[in-house]
Amino acid sequence: MALDDRKKVILQAIVDDYVTTCEPVGSKALIDRHNFTLSSATLRNEMADLEKLGYIEKPHTSAGRIPSDKGYREYVDSLMHIDTISTAEKKDIESRIATGVGEVTDLLKNATNTLSTKTGYVSLAMTPVLKKSYLTQLKLLMIEPGRALVVVVLSAGVVKDKLVRIPNFLTDVQVNEISRAVEKQLSGMPLDEITLITVASSVKNTSIPDSFLNQVLYEAYTAIKQADKLDVYLEGKNRILSIPEFNDVGRAKGLLDTLSDDGMVAGYVNELGTEEITEGDDSYMIRIGQEIALEGLEDCSFITTTYKVGDKISGNIGIIGPKRMEYSKVISQINFVRKTLNDEIKKING
Amino acid sequence: MALDDRKKVILQAIVDDYVTTCEPVGSKALIDRHNFTLSSATLRNEMADLEKLGYIEKPHTSAGRIPSDKGYREYVDSLMHIDTISTAEKKDIESRIATGVGEVTDLLKNATNTLSTKTGYVSLAMTPVLKKSYLTQLKLLMIEPGRALVVVVLSAGVVKDKLVRIPNFLTDVQVNEISRAVEKQLSGMPLDEITLITVASSVKNTSIPDSFLNQVLYEAYTAIKQADKLDVYLEGKNRILSIPEFNDVGRAKGLLDTLSDDGMVAGYVNELGTEEITEGDDSYMIRIGQEIALEGLEDCSFITTTYKVGDKISGNIGIIGPKRMEYSKVISQINFVRKTLNDEIKKING
DNA sequence: ATTAGCACTCGAAAAAGGCGAGTGCCAAAA
DNA sequence: TTTTGGCACTCGCCTTTTTCGAGTGCTAAT
């Protein structure tokens, strides 16, 4: 017994219906809503087959069927057809993303915001993967005696800074000298090759006494390492509470607790490969239910895609919603957001 | 009929019991838990009186009593006795707050984090009130042709920066010149006196053509204004979902939505007067239930206190929890956090 | 003023019942 | 062999009913 064409159509209909109603779909209801040339009895037989094949399941004996993870998988892989986005909506998305932007992270914030509002789900973006990136600039800026701002600029266009304490007696001029020396040595160096030793060696030939330098260099080093940290932007977490699946406070809390742990989310997204599905201009990866190895996300689906900064560097944006998600709509939206994001990043990074 | 001593003791017992059990307290249960020299009948009479006076109320006829807002108010104003904090806990709080600190905002983050974990409720902190503060420094830092970082330092010790676009042809030297001119003119100026015109007038005598300046000055201006914005740090929002009062998703969402609107929270806290209660070293303000003019917080209490940056500038930290809150414990904790925060700020700002 | 006693209340939890969408299976029709 | 009408059966959900008990107010005695 295989998944013939008719079964596919039926599965598709089941997923579609379940996605919109959030209620197990039964044979009669299916017939009512679609004009199949089938009786409910035949449909029942087909549904029994689909169940044996593992594509759908029953919450309990006398209920309708809901798609299993495998069913959703089949659906997203070969059954659904991706929506097209109206010009009006494209304009809207573009303007939302391009508004008030100074740097890449602004774009990311705008993008998550847009995605979350448009889809009604939780959206996320991660700063570009920095392991593959290198340092382009490092500046020490004297704020007042004893305090300086370390500004780190990475090849991905990410700018981070950190306020640090320095010895009180260091002068403006000395700080500048250190700044220039360190930058000269380190700029262009991949982040993972930068160690406390590389940093220290950069100031060997300056006129500043070693004793003054240690603290400054250590702070510079930690600032660089801090810039190496992946940042996660999550938007719309509260929307979880509007989703029927998470009507139960305990369940909702489980999910929200996981999502609130930025490190956990970042780590997971980062470990996901990049085996995205590519369809024409679109390109995305979907994780469904149990496929997501994060506590509390068993009933969720996770759609991610990749934006680019230059040729080699990339970051992820994504949507987290219930398995029962409007995949075709969400995918079209996340893809257009990705495209817009890429364009805007090019504008910024020239 | 007045609130005599016995009634006070009873009210106190009712609040204490309700706080711990979250269930309406009845006459017999009260007798069981406290060793009053009273019969339940007398107690019932007293409770009827307390109800007439408005200090307690019945959820429904055949249930026990719960404190009314007025009852809680009486409790916090004159009935409860504030806990003392153990030395071990003090040490813990101190080390949590002082760990990994570079600037004032780090302290605030640590403080909210500590408060939230310690109390189990939502905690909040706001950056120092900037209206009363002035600009101490403004630096333009060239990142690359066409991009610069504007660093704004305020008297409260708050450092903010913003990446902006500038004309491509501006050189490092020119940017420095602008930077110095603007800073010279503006430093020491109260933030609310800074306008686009003040900013522009500062560069009248520089050698740089006006046509180059407009964009830069505008960006500098918006960066300053952006620094003027109150930042809110909220920590532990998810804990809401563990509180019995918010076991209902709809209710929880109402509260979380309000809390997620930083502007709303900031605005409200900012408008609260400073009529704090002072008791020895402690000093705090409590808003209970309906007294809080924020949607969704009708069943909450809001405890705030003030930390200081120097003599004139101050900011707020606070706790949001259910009305049924362990006031004495929370107040002792928030006060010790406030004290620690003040000490650490002094260390940073010299 | 206090208290023992008692009838009464009323929400919450448990038990009972009916509804109905859904199911599987069979035997007849295509 | 596939499809279909028919039918008995299931079982979660919803509503109604019952039971239970902590709590109350009131009264009469202490």
* B257, closest residue in chain A (CA to CA): A238
Would you say the C-beta of B62 is within 7 Å of strand C? yes
Q: How far apart are CA B113 and CA B107, in angstroms?
A: 10
Q: What is the DSSP letter of B169?
A: T
- At residue B170, φ and ψ (nearest 5 deg) are -70, 135
Q: Average pLDDT per run of 10 along chain B, which is 350 residues long?
A: 90 96 92 89 95 94 93 95 95 96 91 98 88 80 85 82 85 88 87 83 74 79 82 95 92 96 90 75 90 94 93 89 96 97 88
Beta carbons within 8 Å of B309's beta carbon, 6+ residues apart = B104, B128, B156, B157, B315, B345, B349
Would you say the C-beta of B67 is within 7 Å of strand D? no
Would you say the C-beta of A37 is within 7 Å of strand D? yes
Would you say the C-beta of B35 is within 7 Å of strand C? no
| Cβ contact B143–A159 (<8 Å) | yes
* A243, closest residue in chain B (CA to CA): B249
Q: Tokens for B251, please give them.
A: 């209710």
3-state secondary structure of B260: helix
| Cβ contact A151–B146 (<8 Å) | no
Q: Which residues of chain A have pLDDT under 70?
A: 130-132, 211-212, 273-274, 350
What residue type is assigned to position B199 of the chain?
V
Spatial distance from the CA of A45 to the C1' of C20 (Å):
21
Residue A168's pLDDT is 85
For A289, B112, B119, B229, B321, the CA distances from B318, given in Å and listed in that order, are: 39, 8, 11, 19, 10
Residue B192's pLDDT is 79
Beta carbons within 8 Å of A310's beta carbon, 6+ residues apart = A155, A156, A349
Q: Find where tokens 């003090």 sit.
A: B90
Chain B residues with CB-CB distance to A102 below 8 A: 162-165
* pLDDT tens track for A89-137: 999 999 999 998 888 899 999 999 999 999 999 999 998 876 567 888 8
Beta carbons within 8 Å of A38's beta carbon, 6+ residues apart = A31, A46
Chain A within 8 Å of B173 (Cβ-Cβ)? no
pTM value?
Answer: 0.88
Q: Tokens for A235, please give them.
A: 């938007």
Assess contact for B104 and B157: CB atoms under 8 A: yes
Residue B227's pLDDT is 78
- At residue A233, φ and ψ (nearest 5 deg) are -110, 115
Residue A48's pLDDT is 95
Spatial distance from the CA of B44 to the C1' of D27 (Å):
14
Using the CB atoms, write b or e for A214-240: b if 16+ within 10 Å.
eebbebbbbbbeebbebbbbbbbbbbb
Of the candidates A141, A242, A248, which has its C-beta nearest B139's C-beta? A141
